[in-house]
Structure 1
Amino acid sequence: MLPRSIPRLSKVWIPSGGFAVPGVEDAHSKLVRAGFLRQSHAGIFHMLPLGKRVQDKVERLVAKHLEESLAASRVSLSSISSEALWERSGRLQNIAPELFRFPDRKGSAYLLSPTHEEEITNLVAQTVRSYKDLPLRLYQITRKFRDELRPRHGLLRGREFTMKDLYTFDTDLRSALDTYEQVRAAYSRIFNDMKLPVLAAKASSGDMGGDLSHEYHLPSPFGEDSVITCGSCDYTINEEIATTKVAHETCQADHVGVWRAITKDRSTLVNVWYPTRTSKAGTSEGRQYTNSDINIYAIKSLVPDLDAGVSDATELWAAATEGPDATAKRLVNLFDSRLPPSFSDSLEGTASLPMWPDAVKTGASRLDVQCHGSSTSDGKPLNFLRIRTGDHCPQCSSGTLNVQKAMELGHTFHLGTRYSDPLNAKISLPPPSSSEAKTSTGDSGTSKTVSMQMGCHGIGISRVIGAVAEHLADDKGLNWPVAIAPYTCIVVFAEDNYDDAVEVYKRILSGSGDQDERLDIILDDRQKSLPWKLKDADLIGVPVIVVLGREWRMTGRVEVQCRRLNIKDIVDVDNLPSVIAELHSRL
């Protein structure tokens, strides 16, 4: 019998196998088949022992860097928040459709928090009064809730998820921006420890507020975001706010297409006119475009209330312009800068086709028709087409852009006083020194009260698990980085080699010392055949496999396998610790 103190897979609940493999198996299906998780409801999952081990390791890694690099203190905020608090911040109505909301027995309105800016700000506002209590860094790792309309991709877009939030509070803007850069550096170290090629892309702050934010993306063809990078400079940006130098291309009048849209309140109808084919001056080079190339983000910068979820607005146009309940009030024409100038001139002030789709010709004359020029107010040419690989970088003179799909793992925001103002999170600053008071007109030399400068910085813990699984999985199974693998090494053996496996286990541990501090080894003592165990170890994604097989019986040596590095070596037992440590350092 194996000693009870030795980790053994027979003592871990791993409901692996038993699931038919579909024609194309994605990483989420592998997580389910390997026994990491199970779905309980749409977009909601139970973490099983293997999944919980991975989650715990991600959490410990993140916590280590936050506490060591930023001296952050860990808190645990309630998952329940009051709607009244969200009304004070002004966010309740903006994201109401995504909230799980409920009343208590007294009729008070509550919600399950998708994020905790309101709660943490209110907590600090009630506790911190003086500049002497700042800077303050508070973080939590907790479950969040978001009523996703279409949960998909398993852990990548669920309705319940685990998230790390770090909230920072500083006395002034300069200190807050310094903190922001410290957090960015800590994030780099976190993802470097996982050996993930994460891109830090400048991003939109959206409903969070503030004017500075970065997203942290793992490139993947399965990603829902697009990240733009330059091959010659450090330009890295989310597609939502990316720009490009509009190429010196021309378009003939008969190579023009229109993309139609409508605003959420159905009051504004939008025509976006764009080139369907372009050519470079003096050359035969050119590109073709269709409606799928339309850059929704560029249009929303001019029409913020655009209903981007409507793929075909023609039927809505008809309803919005006809009948006594018609809501349409105006039509806006937007022109890409590559169109011939005469094209926009021919449309101004008319209601002739092709400005109007057939469905809304009747009643169209009642609308206020507006035409937007082909450049912004500051003279920049308008580009309503999505950036493509090979476009010119707007930041440097020689670089070209690369567009790649990516999965978001984290986001950092400088919030400023977005929440501290409405929630009254203020501190008293000391009076200026006598010399400062003399040079400051009207300064009485008394202390003053200011709003705290805030930052919010998140990492999706469960999203990291799903994204890493997707990023590294192959046709045989999962592939975990050593830093977050459920086990970093597994000893696989036939049933009659129990005692030998124990000795190999002890030799690995005794020879490792401090050279492999992340070593997390387990024996597969399950009553299964050796081929079955090897296949299951590949499915689970253990980085290093030590096999006591034919070579062990013949020569007393073991086989070391590392699928990710394409390694299968025969190794003396005395050399095992150093061999495993070297492999771990590369994974």
Structure 2
Amino acid sequence: MRYVSQIFQPVITIPKNAKIKNTEITCKSQKLLLECGLVRPTSSGLFALLPLARRALDKLETIVRQCVEAAGAQRVTLPSLTAAHLWEKTGRLEDVGSELLTVKDRHKKEYLLAPTHEEAIADLLADVGPVSYKQLPLVLYQISNKYRDEQRPKHGLLRARSFAMLDAYAAHASAECSRAVYERMTRAYSRLFERLQLPVYRVSAPTGDMGGSLSHEWQVAAAAGEDAIHICPSCSHAAIDEGPCAQCGRETDRVSSIEVGHTFILGTKYSAPLKASFVPAAGAPQPLIMSCYGIGITRLLAASLEALSTETSMRWPRAIAPYSAVIIGPKEGSKEWQCHGEERVLDLWRRVAQTQDTVIDDRHSLTVGKRLMMADKLGYPTIIVCGKAVLETPPRYELHCLYQSRGPRLVTVEELLDVMREEECVENGLEVATLTIIVCGKAVLETPPRYELHCLYQSRGPRLVTVEELLDVMREEECLENGLEVATLTIMVCAKAVLETPSRYELHRLYQSRGPRLVTVEELLDVMKEEECVENVCGKAVLETPPRYELHCLYQSRGPRLVTVEELLDVMREEECVEDGLEVATLTIVVCGKAVLEKPPRYELHRLYQSRGPRLVTVEELLDVMKEEECVENGLEVNKIV
């Protein structure tokens, strides 16, 4: 969407100095979402998410998905309806029955609109099982609507009857494995909240109706919260219970908070009664050890607004703002409008939109100040105003960065684009989650030179490292970014056995169920070569010069063949064209046939998406066709082609 006037946003206008008595609006996120036209209540505890809220939620879901998939989770979709007899088997139907929304089909079979899916996952694993220990650990997740029959829905999206939720479930062969996966998912949660730049605390919590042996809540500090945590002002450690800090012994401060996530190690509470089992390396099948992980997506969105907004203006986590920037053009009829009117504003949008998702406030009959006030209330992270300075040469624009403490400043279009590119990096979580900064300071004068290393995602401060130490850190960082910290990492430990003759090393292969073993350097190299082949699905031909790879194209009738890396890249480029639908929908083929001998030379033009056959064209006619084709691909085929 390019223009604000086109967005479906039913704003609630409250007269100045009006006194509103509405006991149903109980927190600022609820008030702001309603007033700004992002949500609309349909009945008690149920809301329609309108386009701007949907955009924010889509961005949040994308970030959540990236974080959990980097930790090895695979996405599934489970039915919203779960058979009630599964909950009877685990005992939860009686324990939490009052909060469940239930239905009966025409055959009088009872179902429930599940608020969570532990039973459904256990039943799925039982149906396909018993699984082999070699398939474990297994982490499955979904993002879908859940339902709870809240007795007193309140606070808008914070306590609703229908809500979007991430729920992930892991199956393991041992308690040790479940704890390792639990820590991996915990790191994924931490990266998520760091990227959102939210004050979220992980606190130990009772397992409650969910059961299990271990549980943690993830709490956002916010005044509207119905929970409370105790935070140490010295070390920032948080806990549910009041008392001296467990880490430093200082007194803690009580803070209201909102629970946005919960994680559990469940043990066999669900797998045993539902007969979800695995086959170990030796012996009879055993119940799977399970863990589960939840994040309330719509609740997290509302909690973010509670934590960051003022009473009168929204403030989003930058990465999930509905639009990253808004351009406010001059008021229609003004001097600025004569110089920098609609076409100039549109040109500016085209350039800015290449770096960030940007919208134009095209309500030019309103004053700039009025639109600026409305943009501030909606919380656009970046506001670009075409004010008096657009009359200068070159024109300059007022840049308001709402998430920075500095005030507005005037910038040229080139400076504006630099800021927007920097903002794009910030939105993608590079400033906190993954960014490493290397500074060439005074220590580069040493022998050997050393560099200041700032790892912004770590709590430790900067440190000086040599180039070799720096490379080690960067390799480790690459493993973490690619989710290799648990799923595929091989660790070699130089322990006591290196004193033997020959030396032996502890080999830990974390993706295998077998424990560490001692290997010589020759055995270690064999393992690593095998590992490289396994990761790249390479056969014996990689040992040739040049190496060749087995290429299996499953959608072709021909069998596998051996190709060099250059031949492989050619095939992949061709496959990319096919994936993008170019073989039929938009592909133009230019053939240099006999007609190139003419003066001027002509070329056979085959346009596969048209019913007309090939024709001969000169190079000038060909260029005209290609320009027209570019317009058509960009949706300009009717109203913009001249």
Normalised-by-shorter TM-score class: 0.5 to 0.7
Matched, 1:521 2:358: yes
- Give CA-to-partner distance per residue, 1:521-578, whole Å, 9 cap, x none: 1212235412332122112111110001222234510001123424211111110022
**For residue 468 of structure 1, what is the amino acid of its counterpart?**
S
Deviation at 1:502, TM superposition (A): 1.7
Aligned to 1:506: 350
Instruction: Name the SS of the counterpart of 2:92 in structure 1.
Output: coil
- SS at structure 1 position matched to 2:328: strand
Q: How far 1:64 moved relative to its partner?
A: 0.8
Instruction: Output one character per residue of 1:423-461: Cα deviation in whole Å (capped at 9) or x when no partner.
Output: 111011122xxxxxxxxxxxxxxx221111111100000
Amino acid at match of 2:244: H
Give the structure 1 partner of residue 7 of structure 2.
12
Within 2, Cα distance between the matches of 1:430 and 1:140?
30
Is 1:578 the counterpart of 2:410? The answer is no
Residues of 1 paired with 2:10 and 2:123: CA distance? Answer: 44
Deviation of 1:579 (Å): 2.0
Amino acid at match of 1:34: C
**Partner amino acid for 1:563?**
L
Deviates more, 1:519-528 or 1:131-140: 519-528
TM-score with structure 1 length normalisation?
Answer: 0.66
Match of 1:466 among 298, 302, 310: 302
Distance between the aligned counterparts of 1:33 and 1:232, measured in 2? 39
- 1:117 corresponds to which residue? 118
Matched, 1:456 2:451: no
Distance 1:234 1:533, change over 3 A: closer
Q: Distance in 1 between matches of 2:346 and 2:289?
A: 56
Query: Paired residue for 1:419, among 267, 270, 279?
Result: 270
- TM-score, normalised relative to structure 2: 0.61
What letter matches 1:173 in structure 2? A
Which ranges of structure 2 fall in alignment gaps of 5 or more residues? 21-25, 428-642
Mapped partners of 1:120, 1:583: distance in 2: 40
In structure 1, the residue corresponding to 2:188 is in which secondary structure?
A: helix
Q: Is the 8 A contact 1:28 1:469 kept in 2?
A: no
Offset from partner CA, 1:128-147 (integer Å, 9 cap, x none): 32212221111000111111
Partners in 2 of 1:459 and 1:552 — Cα distance? 46
- Flag the structure with higher helix content: 2
Query: Which amino acid letter does the alignment assign opposite residue 539 of structure 1?
Result: K
Letter in 1 for 2:102: R
Partner residue of 1:83? 84
Tell me how far apart the structure 2 counterparts of residues 25 and 141 of structure 1 sit (CA, whole Å): 26
Quote how far apart the aligned CAs of 1:7 are.
2.2
> C-alpha separation between the residues in 1 aligned to 2:234 and 2:313?
36
Return 43-52 or 218-227, whichever deviates more.
218-227
Structure 1 residues 486, 474: CA separation in 2 closer, same or farther (over 3 Å shift)?
same
- Distance (Å, rounded) in 2 between the aligned partners of 1:133 and 1:22: 62
Q: 1:133 to 1:565 in 2, by over 3 A?
A: same
Q: 1:554 to 1:232 in 2, by over 3 A?
A: closer
Counterpart Cα distance in 1 of 2:248 and 2:60: 40
Are the aligned partners of 1:164 and 1:458 in contact in 2 as well (CA < 8 Å)? yes
1:304-453 alignment, distance < 5 Å: 387=242, 391-393=243-245, 395-396=246-247, 398-431=249-282, 447-453=283-289
CA distance in structure 2 between the aligned counterparts of 1:453 and 1:237, rounded to whole angstroms: 27
Aligned 8 A contact 1:232 1:400 in 2: no
SS in 2 for 1:479: coil
Pair 397,137 (structure 1): closer, same or farther in 2 beyond 3 Å: closer
Partner of 1:56: 58
Shift in CA distance, 29/528, structure 1 to aligned 2, threshold 3 Å: farther
User: By how many angstroms is 1:71 displaced?
Assistant: 2.1
CA distance in 1, matches of 2:231, 2:129: 41
Displacement of 1:500 in angstroms is 1.4
State the distance in 1 between where 2:215 and 2:321 align.
Answer: 30
Cα distance 1:426–1:528, how it changes in 2: closer, same or farther (>3 A)? farther
| AA in 2 matched with 1:553 | L
Aligned partner letter, 1:36: L
Q: Which runs of 5+ in 1 are unaligned?
A: 1-5, 243-386, 432-446, 513-518
User: Equivalent residue for 1:553?
Assistant: 391
Aligned to 1:538: 376
Q: Is the 8 A contact 1:416 1:453 kept in 2?
A: yes
Q: Secondary structure at the match of 1:448?
A: coil
* Distance in 2 of aligned mates of 1:234 and 1:127: 45
For these two proteins, the number of residue pairs brought into alignment is 408
Deviation at residue 584 of structure 1 after TM alignment: 5.7
Residues 454 and 563 of structure 1: is their aligned pair in 2 closer, same or farther, counting only changes over 3 Å?
A: same
Greater relative contact order (Cα < 8 A, sep 6+): 1
Match of 2:548 in 1: none
- How far the C-alpha of 1:481 sits from its partner, in A, is 1.6
* Distance in 2 separating the partners of 1:233 and 1:398: 10
Amino acid at match of 1:500: R
How far 1:120 moved relative to its partner? Answer: 1.1
Give the aligned partner of residue 440 of structure 2.
Answer: none
Q: In structure 2, what is the Cα distance between the partners aligned to 1:520 and 1:105?
A: 48
Output aligned runs, 1:46-445, within 5 Å.
46-68=48-70, 70-129=71-130, 130-232=132-234, 235-238=237-240, 242=241, 387=242, 391-393=243-245, 395-396=246-247, 398-431=249-282
| 1:263-295 residue CA offsets vs partner (Å, 9 max, x unmatched) | xxxxxxxxxxxxxxxxxxxxxxxxxxxxxxxxx
- The letter for the 2-side match of 1:125 is A
